Structure 1
Amino acid sequence: MSLSLLLDVVIVALLVPTIIYAVILNNRLASLRKNRDALAKVVHSFNEATVRAESGIPRLRRAADEAAEALAARVEKAHGLRDDLAFMVERAEELADRLENALKGARGEVRPSPGAALAQTPAAVRKPAPAEPDTAPAPMPTPTLARRAARVVPGESLSPRLDGEDADLPDDERSEAERALLQALQSVR
């Protein structure tokens, strides 16, 4: 055999796998072109979603800031109410102790009040009372309530306007606790 024939056979043998590989490659490139359109649609919808998300971020921040401000205002108001309630409870306990002592004093059963025990303690031992922040102390109730409560007799009027005692004391000079206590004592009769 001649050398040229042998060389032609080798070239044919090498061209057959090359042609097969080219056909396979062409099929893959065709499917890639088809998928390229679908991929472009996916990228486009992803870009639109990103733009919507970015435009929503400032609105979300504003809403969060407004909610935080509203919550801070409510918390501040709640702290103020808590302090007011604590002060009112403390004042009510003091007033109840004074009223109880006045009633027992009228009956002859005197019990020293916590304020009297504090007054008997030496000044070096006493601790100063902590100041209430941002709250003004309530006006002290007038001592006429304790005098009136000590003399309560069933069927007797508790109103100063009716029984003549402190008739010149208008309702606005009485503390709210005094007015409420007078009403409660009158309703018990």
Structure 2
Amino acid sequence: MSWLEWGLQLLLLAMLGAAIPFALRLERALREIRRDRAAMDGSAQGLGEAARMAEAAMVRLRASAELAGRQVAEKLATAEPLRDDLRYLIERAETLADRLEGLVRNGRPLVQEAPRAPEPASLQSQAERDLLRAITLGARGAR
């Protein structure tokens, strides 16, 4: 072997010795990448499972919303006739209240002019006295 061959072999040996730390660093980096890949695969599976669970929850939520919508529609359907009945009753009550108010206005001068009848002592409550007064006024107004 010549000196050139020995020199090239030493150079090759030095280069291989210098490459060993880089190879070790590369091996560690590959190990971390594999570990991260396994974690990423696990995360991807977890993400897929979470997506499936979210889809199932969304389906349940949609079904629940549709059921609630149907229930509200049913309640609304039963409430509309009641609303119409109440509106009718309120209109009738307003007209009756207006008529009653007119009768009261017309009857006030008659009450002030008419002599007061003695109230029986047996009537205890104000409501009974008011009823008797209204009956008396009604009989006078009918004459």
| TM-score bracket for the superposition, by shorter chain length | 0.5 to 0.7
Q: Aligned residue for 2:22?
A: 14
1:185 aligns with 2:125: no
1:36-58 Cα offsets, whole Å, 9 max, x none, are 44434322222211111122232
1:75 aligns with 2:83: yes
Q: Aligned residue for 1:5?
A: 13
> Hey, what's the Cα distance between the residues in 1 that align with 2:74 and 2:38?
55
Q: Aligned residue for 1:56?
A: 64
> Hey, what's the Cα distance between the residues in 1 that align with 2:12 and 2:119?
143
- The offset of 1:7, in angstroms, is 2.5
- Structure 1 unmatched runs, 5+: 108-151, 156-180
Q: Aligned residue for 1:94?
A: 102
RMSD of equivalent CA atoms: 3.3
- Structure 2 unmatched runs, 5+: 1-6, 121-130, 137-143
Q: Which amino acid aligns with 2:15?
A: L
Q: Which amino acid aligns with 1:77?
A: D
Name the one with the larger helix percent.
2
> Hey, what's the Cα distance between the residues in 2 that align with 1:25 and 1:105?
110
Aligned length: 117
Q: Secondary structure at the match of 1:54?
A: helix
> Hey, what's the Cα distance between the residues in 2 that align with 1:154 and 1:60?
62
> Hey, what's the Cα distance between the residues in 2 that align with 1:60 and 1:15?
65
Q: 1:3 to 1:154 in 2, by over 3 A?
A: closer
Q: 1:50 to 1:35 in 2, by over 3 A?
A: same
> Hey, what's the Cα distance between the residues in 2 that align with 1:154 and 1:5?
136
Among all aligned residue pairs of Structure 1 and Structure 2, give the percentage whose two residues are the same amino acid. 15
Q: Aligned residue for 1:28?
A: 36
Q: Secondary structure at the match of 2:105?
A: helix
Structure index of larger Rg: 2
1:84 aligned to 76, 92, 115, which one?
Answer: 92
- The offset of 1:8, in angstroms, is 1.6
| TM-score, structure 1 normalization | 0.48
- The offset of 1:71, in angstroms, is 4.1
Q: Which amino acid aligns with 1:185?
A: I
User: Which stretch shifts more, 54-63 or 65-74?
Assistant: 65-74
> Hey, what's the Cα distance between the residues in 2 that align with 1:95 and 1:182?
17
> Hey, what's the Cα distance between the residues in 2 that align with 1:86 and 1:22?
89
- The offset of 1:105, in angstroms, is 6.0
